[in-house]
Structure 1
Amino acid sequence: MNSEVEGQTPTAAPTVARKYAHTIKPGFTAVPWGPKDKIAASILKMGTVGAVFSAAFTGGRQQLFDSRPHYGTDSGAYGERVGADYARQSVQAMMNGGMSAILRDDPRYYVLGAGHSFKSRVVYAAERVLITHKDSGGDTANIPLLTGIVASQALANGIYPERDRDWARVATGSLGSIASRMGTQEFKEFGDDIRQYLRHKIKKN
């Protein structure tokens, strides 16, 4: 994938996106990723503030309600929850990057942009969890991401306390992760629109 994807709103002079950007906006040209780049991007992603914050937030929510995984409610339990979620995220990211390298898929999200209907953007963002771009162009099943999701849930099942180990939960957890990822994709698609709307409202007031 070396530029905008089919359907993106074109611009006269595209700007080159950051090499390891995971989201490519309309008007930006993606730097081609080789196998090593895809793995490097996965590693770098897990070193971001967002990845750490996500694990800390998830651990905090689980700690507050003493929900699965049941490590307890003391400070040590919170650390275990954060560590377990970070490990789960890491496995998902590495599997996605590694499988994308093997299958020659492009794991990045290409925003359609405001030049398309609201409905088409909603559908596109959701289906990108199940469908991804090939390096050579066109679409294919998003095996790397789906494999990463299932693998991360299987890891969680293995490291959680005995009472929380249940293979049925691997299936339900995977479905939950897919739904969560769809929500993330929607935010990637409409994030700039939301920020622009909020800036307009604040400026107007």
Structure 2
Amino acid sequence: MTNKTTQHSLRISTLHLGLAMALAFAPSAFAQTAPTFALASVELPDAPGMTSRTEAPAGVSSSLALGESPQSSASYISARTPSMASHTDKYIEPGESAPSLSMGNKFALGFKDAFSLSSFGGWVVAAGYSQVTNGSPNYGTNATAFGKRFGAAVARASSEGVFSDSIMASVTREDPRYYRMGPGHNVIRRLGYAVTRTLITRTDSGHVSPNIALLGGNLGGSYLTKAYYPDLNTSNTEVLKTFGGSIGGSALGFAVSEFFPNINFFSFHKHND
């Protein structure tokens, strides 16, 4: 009984530590505004680049791909994409300008994306896969187990998202957004680009960088599972397995985000033809 009480106390302490980290960064994040970088008419290593040297307002970047044929994606862009993304948009469309982000913007973006409709779909998929394979977290295979897995998926994914996009991206000064390549490129190139965004990103100033924010945030969220996963899944080895699964899930999420708008777009036109 004493050992179980001690383990429970350690888990609660770990959870409190994670929450304390978030709260410690939050006040300064919303109070501080990051400097505006003049990114107009420059190639951005993490984004596909720019189709042309069209001028954009200072402090914004574009996701049009270098070498992309304007004719091949013009209809997609005109039908799907506004001229400027908001400060809380996680995914930037081809040709869409994206404003620079302050720390407060990153916190708002992180919380918005962590609890979005697409995130809800990810929670269901993660819980369902774990339920079917009877994998980690090992709650069993009955209906109650699925509910526990779903709750664990919500806690893990949302904490990883906030740690990555809000806290870590603010500390490392990295851009947490995903810039879609769009239909102007072949499928293999787009898929390769999407899955490598887990490892490669860009800084707020537009320079290519290892994706420390995503890797660090996912690791922090995975370690936090020690506070609520079953005992079987709380060893350091199991935490590393959870971390590996999170990176794979992030890669899958980017791939879906790269192609899903196209599926919706072409399905819409097919339905109306």
- TM-score for both structures, normalised by structure 1: 0.84
AA aligned to 1:7 is A
Task: State how far apart, in whole Å, the 2-side matches of 1:120 and 1:73 are.
Answer: 39
**Is residue 89 of structure 1 aligned with residue 147 of structure 2?**
no
Selected match of 1:152 from 217, 221, 225: 221
Match of 1:79 in 2: 147
CA distance 1:78–1:179, change in 2 (3 Å): closer
Letter in 1 for 2:122: S
How many Å separate the matches in 2 of 1:125 and 1:72? Answer: 34
1:48 aligns with one of 103, 113, 116 = 116
The alignment covers a number of residue pairs equal to: 204
Give the corresponding residue for 1:3. Answer: 61
Q: Please, which of 105, 109, 114 is the counterpart of residue 178 of structure 2?
A: 109
Comparing 4-13 with 111-120, greater Cα deviation is found at 4-13
Q: Does 1:191 align with 2:249?
A: no
The residue that corresponds to 2:6 in the other structure is none
SS in 2 for 1:132: strand
Give the drift of 1:199. 4.3
1:128 paired to 2:197:
yes
Structure 1 residue 38 corresponds to structure 2 residue 106: yes
Residue type matched to 1:36 in 2? Answer: G
50-59 vs 175-184, which deviates more? Answer: 50-59
Percent of residue pairs bearing the same amino acid type: 30
1:29 equivalent in alignment to 2:100: no
Segments of structure 1 that go 5 or more residues without pairing to the other structure are none
SS in 1 for 2:105: helix
TM-score, length of structure 2 as denominator length: 0.65
Q: Which range is displaced more, 180-189 or 51-60?
A: 51-60
| Displacement of 1:37 | 0.7
Structure 2 residue runs without a partner (length 5+): 1-38, 40-59
* In 1, Cα distance between equivalents of 2:237 and 2:223: 10
Q: CA RMSD in A?
A: 2.8
